[in-house]
Chain A
Amino acid sequence: MIKKTSSKVVGFILSLLVLAAGFVVFMPFLFMFAQSMRLPSDAYRLPPDWFPTTFDLTNYKTLFASDLPMLNMVGNSALVTFSVIVLRLIVAILAAYAIAKIRYRGSNTVMIGFLSSMMLPIQATIIPLYIIMSNLGLVNTRLSLIIIGIFDSFCIFMLKQSMATIPDSIVESAKIDGAGHMRICWQIIVPMIKSSLATMVILIFNGNWNDYFLPYIFISSWDKMTLPLGINALKGYMGSGNQSVILAAVSFAVTPILIIFLFGQRYIVEGLTASAVKG
């Protein structure tokens, strides 16, 4: 009995330690927010603040008063991410349906072909991709980021797996009722895999909103940059003298993500980890 209580106490203390360590893990973000609201003259003053001691918005004003198009970058990020989510899902749903439910001759080969590309990192094929894009005249366009993002074998695979759990009899009986594949796919199957689709949206958003590599390769003008690239370009443009303005820019970009995470963290964490486990 005593042993049991003592082990409970130990467990409790350990979990508090995990919590305290977690706070330390989170501290860089506290630093970022607190520092961005300091007076510009205090930018380098040590010790640092972990919680805002002043709520001074001068750094944010400097950021938006500069000739750099911050809001434009938000728009570019939103445009690219939203387009990739919509197009990738449409293309993947059609392909997944054909492979999982129509099972036409050759569908297995197609799936194997798709899957074999999963280990190919984009960092390796980027050179030919760049050559293709430059031949299409798409270098330094947002369209280049979107069309490269459309195909994703992992997305097709996940949706195919989730459609495969739906019994064939549902498709068969809809067919007997005279429904075509288009209708079966969009009106019967898609509503049944909503949770997989939601997971995919989280995954695609996370990957695309945060992407730095593709914009870094393809985008060179300010008005077309997405946030991760633009804020880093800003850092070079402003020089190291404006540390707190850069932190204001990062805070500005991270805040919406933090808010989304505060509300939907359970789904986000489950979505990102579960898809890794299944795939």
Chain B
Amino acid sequence: MASTAKKKRQVGMFTTKKDDLVGWLFTAPALICFISFVLLPTLAMIGLSFTKYKMLRPPEWIGLDNYVRLFTKDAKLIKVAMNTIKLSTVSVLISIFIGLVLALLITSRKNGLYSYVIRLFYFFPNIVAASFIAIVWSILFSKDTGVVNYYLHRLFGMQPVGFLTDQRYALWSVVFIDVWRNIGFIMFILLAGIRSISDSYYEAAALDGASSLQIATHVTIPLLTPSILLVMVIQIIGALKTFDIPNIMTEGGPNDATRTMAMYVYDMAFTRMSMGYACCVSVIFVVAIMLVTVLQFSLSNKWVHYD
């Protein structure tokens, strides 16, 4: 034992300087990319948020003006922020609920063919590009020629609904597609979580004569809360960044009903060429995402059970 420890230290000491150099050389490519495409843009984003910048002329320092405008004068931003919050919370809560129920229902099915078909049906929407999904659902949701309206009329005699053109429904149509895409992903993460719960809990519950509903609510779900938290954090971050689907399906309309934060930043920067103000919105956007994530972790000890 002693001799191996000694040998280890000798090897380490003998090569320390060279190892340091090699270590830095190995990290250099990653570090260069990190500095040029992550760190520098982040610092530039913060810096530019204090300027007026229209791309053609050099940035002009205006202090906190952008922030003042953002917090006091930008009514559209409030709408966009509310859209993003509504979309994220509703879609994540509904998809976790459905994903959890589905995972609980099929936990004991271990048949290979059954699992195969379930994976195909539920997971496939998750691996198809959002931009393709957006095209297909635009056609399905179309007001006059759409399939959804056709069946609503045939089955319930409903008048055509403007799923994407009526500002009362457009955001919820986007939420619906989000849920449809994500339940499979959530379901399989939770399924892996359920299957990793030790059998001894179930045996104890069965001895006490618990029904399967009681087992689900008193044993499985509490033990699954760490996985649920994880899914929630991943999905919320993803949903807050939503861009592709509303950008393609509604271009933010009607009347900004489906415009999200990411779309607003894009619009400010590349359509209206207000780069400085767009950076200011970006800074707030990043801070908000971080706050939401930290908040979820810090609230988690109220409902998550850790072993």
Report which A residues bind B (CB closer than 8 A): 7, 11, 14-15, 17-19, 21-23, 25-26, 28-29, 31-32, 35, 44, 46-48, 90-92, 94-95, 97-99, 102-107, 110, 113-114, 117, 119-121, 123-132, 147-148, 150-151, 153, 156, 172, 175-176, 181, 185, 206, 209-213, 216-217, 227-229, 231-232, 235, 243, 246-247, 250, 253-254, 257-258, 261-262, 265-266, 268-269, 272-274, 276-277
Contacts and interface: CB of A to CB of B under 8 A. Distances in A.
Contact of B147 (A48, A261, A266): A48
B230 A277 contact: yes
Contact of A277 (B189, B248, B261, B289): B189
27 contacts: A15-B106, A17-B105, A19-B117, A25-B183, A92-B30, A95-B30, A119-B290, A120-B38, A121-B241, A123-B241, A123-B266, A123-B285, A127-B275, A132-B36, A175-B15, A206-B127, A227-B129, A228-B130, A247-B139, A250-B136, A261-B120, A265-B119, A265-B123, A269-B188, A272-B185, A276-B234, A277-B230
Given A31-B136, A98-B23, A231-B131, A175 B11 contact: yes
A120 B42 contact: yes
B61 interface: no
Interface residues of B, number: 98
Given A44-B145, A181-B19, A265-B119, 4 more contacts: A117-B34, A210-B128, A232-B248, A277-B227
Contacts of B217: none
Given A104-B19, A114-B30, A257 B106 contact: no
Contact of B30 (A23, A91, A227): A91
B256 interface: no
10 closest residue pairs by CB, A with B: A104-B23, A22-B121, A210-B129, A151-B33, A98-B26, A128-B44, A128-B41, A95-B30, A123-B262, A228-B131
A120 B26 CA distance: 24
A28 B38 contact: no
A125 B36 CA distance: 12
Interface centre among A22, A92, A114, A229 (most CB of B within 10 A): A22
B24 A106 contact: yes
Contact of A28 (B136, B154, B193): B136
A277 B192 contact: yes
Contact of B37 (A15, A132, A247, A257): A132
Given A123-B241, A127-B279, A261-B120, A232 B23 contact: no
A15 B114 contact: yes
Nearest to B29: A91
A229 B188 CA distance: 29
Contact of B45 (A26, A103, A117, A125): A125
B131 A102 contact: no
Contacts of A172: 7-8, 11
A266 B119 contact: yes
Contacts of B286: 119-121, 124
Contact of B230 (A95, A253, A261, A276): A276
Interface in B223-278: 227, 230-231, 234, 237, 240-241, 243-244, 247-248, 261-262, 265-266, 269-270, 275, 278
A216 B270 CA distance: 11
B124 A127 contact: no
A228 B102 contact: no
B227 A102 contact: no
